[in-house]
Structure 1
Amino acid sequence: MSGVQVHRAGALDGVPHGFLGRVGGVSTGIVAGLNVGLGSDDLPGAVAENRCRAVAAVLPGARLTTVFQIHSADAVTVLAPFDEALRPRADALVTNQPGLLLGILTADCAPVLLADREAGVVGAAHAGWKGAIGGVTDSTIAAMEGLGARSDRIVAAVGPCIARASYEVDAGFFRRFCEQDPANERFFADGRPEHFQFDLEAYVVHRLARAGVRTIEALGLDTYANEDRFFSFRRATHRGEPDYGRQISLIGLAG
């Protein structure tokens, strides 16, 4: 649909997908644009219209399916759309059913879209730092394999998320990652005293590669720094704003 800005990955060429931002929606105020967050303090009608526009921009006529995201490592297999009121609590979805459009909402966390074209299996994961270190991408790949995918055939793309230059963390955060694996130190740059700059995108790429994914594309788009294009929880928090918008990333199989 014209007006909706869709960022696509070459790695997923031929698979209906898109990383959407805030451009092209009907919401106003501090969530102005294509806000799709059901939990935001936005008009329900505006959110519904934005979701319809998002679907039309990626896979017209598809049934949108999302989960109740909780920053977990849990992935669910979707064979039919969920009732919106009964969405499972999870942070990733996979399917082999044409006509379903898997959606992940973010506002600084990393959206990850995956596909095994040969098996006809796709997946979408919400990888905030908790989910990323907990293994949400590993769970997504395992769920895709349960539908016949193979990790060495899966291609993945990491969409707009907060970049290292914008993502300051404290020493406790740094230690948590290094205690899991000392090699994780490479994803941090020195910041002000007792603080570091964390590269979430690079860490997610690392987890995908470690799980056997051979083709991975990172879009390198910073949600925090690009206010005109993306919503950002951290930017809204730093400004003391009472609410923030959510963008959506979508992937599906054509019928």
Structure 2
Amino acid sequence: MELLIPDWPAPAGVGAMTTLRVGGYSPAPYDDGHGGPGLNLGLHVADDPLLVARNRALLRRLLPQEPAWLSQVHGVEVLDAADLPAQPQADGCISTTPGAVCVMMTADCLPVLFCDRAGSVVGAAHAGWRGLAAGVLERTVAAMRARGAVDVMAWLGPAIGPDNFEVGAEVREAFLARQPEAEAAFRDYPGRPGKYLADIYQLARQRLAAVGVHDVSGGGLCTVADQRFYSYRRDKTTGRMASLIWLK
């Protein structure tokens, strides 16, 4: 198994990582990108659920307990990793409980990990364009602050990059309606009138800055261009990676 470890100034008591494609049991099209078995962690992508369970078991060995797996719906709901309902649907997760693991699955959408400088609260959010435009990052930060977080920092995980994220005018308008400065994150797609290339990293930084989160690391890893990552935009039928964070 290969992992991406965030490079950010998180306290020593915070654990965080993002999985890559390599090192599991899943065959193509959920493989490692080179014909070997892949570490698909998504149960909703038509992979063999027994193989997904084996992949999750590999991941579980690296964690203090089973992650708080959610049904992600491109919304703004935020749940507590230590207190999930029977059928948890959410795109944000927080925790103040040592050992409880927040997790988000992605394959082009932006995973964002959070912690406070005191190392008392952690969080994770799944930011596809709909959730990002609707305020999932702001809702996650607000939930953390409600639990006592003061100085929140964020790490932006691998997502579709600005050279590959083609969107229509409706996506651009959804962001401009909330933040006029979002215009800087869109550029015309050459030769395709009415289409734009969007910078999801810049959009996320703008949203975080608006709620006072300025210590933002990461960004710049494109899931479409880099074969280490699963990418729905590139491959259509594909697996899911996980970005995880917990208090030790």
Moved more, 16-25 or 134-143: 16-25
Which of 168, 183, 186 in structure 2 is aligned with 1:185?
183
For the pair 1:173 / 2:171, whether they are aligned, the reply is: yes
State the alpha-carbon separation in 2 of the partners of residues 175 and 236 from structure 1. 27
Hey, which bits of structure 1, 4+ residues long, moved more than 4 A?
Answer: none
Name the CA distance, whole Å, in 2 between partners of 1:19 and 1:12.
15
How many residues were matched structurally? Answer: 239
Deviations along 1:2-24, one digit per CA (max 9) or x if unpaired, are x3223322233522000222122
SS at match of 2:245: strand
Q: Does 1:69 align with 2:67?
A: no
Contact 1:66 1:87 in 2 (8 A): no
Say if 2:201 is the partner of 1:198: no
Query: Which residue of 2 is the match for residue 139 of structure 1?
Result: 139
**Pair 205,102 (structure 1): closer, same or farther in 2 beyond 3 Å:** same
Q: 2:93 is matched by which residue type in structure 1?
A: L
1:54 to 2:48 alignment: no
Name the aligned partner's letter for residue 187 of structure 1.
A
Q: 1:219-244, CA deviations, whole angstroms, 9 ceiling, x for partnerless residues?
A: 311001112x111111123xxxxx22
Q: Which residue of 1 aligns with 2:233?
A: 234
Q: How does 1:2-41 map to 2 (within 5 A)?
A: 3-12=1-10, 14=12, 15-32=14-31, 33-41=38-46
- Whole-Å separation in 1 of the counterparts to 2:23 and 2:11: 23
1:123 aligns with 2:123: yes
Shift in alpha-carbon separation, 1:117–1:246, aligned structure 2, 3 A: same
Identity in percent: 36
**Aligned equivalents of 1:247 and 1:78: distance in 2?**
18
1:253 and 2:211 equivalent?
no
Separation in 2 of the partners of 1:52 and 1:121? 26
Distance 1:92 1:155 in 2: 15
Deviation of 1:119 after TM superposition, in Å, equals 5.4
Kindly state the Cα deviation for residue 115 of structure 1 after the two structures are TM-superposed. Answer: 0.5
Q: Give the counterpart letter for 2:224 in structure 1.
A: Y
Per-residue CA shift, 1:29-68, capped at 9, x if unaligned? 10111100010111112111212222334x3x32311211
Q: How far has the Cα of 1:214 moved from its partner? A: 2.7
1:83-94 correspondence runs (5 A): 86-94=86-94
CA distance 1:6–1:176, change in 2 (3 Å): closer
Segments of 5+ residues of structure 2 without an aligned counterpart are 32-37
Counterpart amino acid of residue 137 in structure 1: L
- Separation in structure 2 between the aligned mates of residue 130 and residue 201 of structure 1, nearest angstrom: 14
Structure 1 Cα separation of the partners of residues 147 and 129 of structure 2? 27
State the one-letter code of the partner of 1:183: E
**Residue in 2 aligned with 1:103?**
103
Which residue among 232, 238, 242 is the counterpart of 1:244?
Answer: 238
Distance 2:161 2:198 in 1: 8
Closer/same/farther in 2, CA of residues 12 and 20 from structure 1, 3 Å limit: farther
- Indicate how the Cα distance of structure 1 residues 140 and 133 shifts in structure 2: closer, same or farther if over 3 A, else same: same
- The residue number in structure 2 matching 1:225 is 225
Q: Residue 240 of structure 1 corresponds to which residue in structure 2?
A: none
Instruction: Give me the whole-angstrom Cα distance separating, in 1, the residues matched to 2:99 and 2:61.
Output: 12
